[in-house]
Amino acid sequence: MNLAHLHLILNHIPIIGTIIGLGLFIVSLVGDTDDLKRASLMVFAGVALLALPTFFSGVGAQGAIRKDAAVPA
């Protein structure tokens, strides 16, 4: 597994995690539930932490893709 594979795996987690965290937060505001508010904030924190390796693996993934002859420039 190279950086391109890692980037493609991690690339979707911040998008989906943000939607899930936002849904939890909206439900917690409607239901006035502190536990769901805390859970949504933990989801947002986890998404933020996983966004860092996604961002930093992007340059390596680009370099790995440019070396591949099957991918047009």
Q: Which amino acid is at 60?
A: G
Q: Which residues lie below 8 Å from residue 10, measured CB to CB, with a gap of 6+?
A: 50, 53, 54, 57
- SS3 of 42, please? helix
| pLDDT tens for the chain, residues 1 to 73 | 777 888 888 889 889 999 999 999 999 999 989 999 999 999 999 999 998 988 888 888 877 777 766 666 6
Q: What is the model's pTM?
A: 0.75
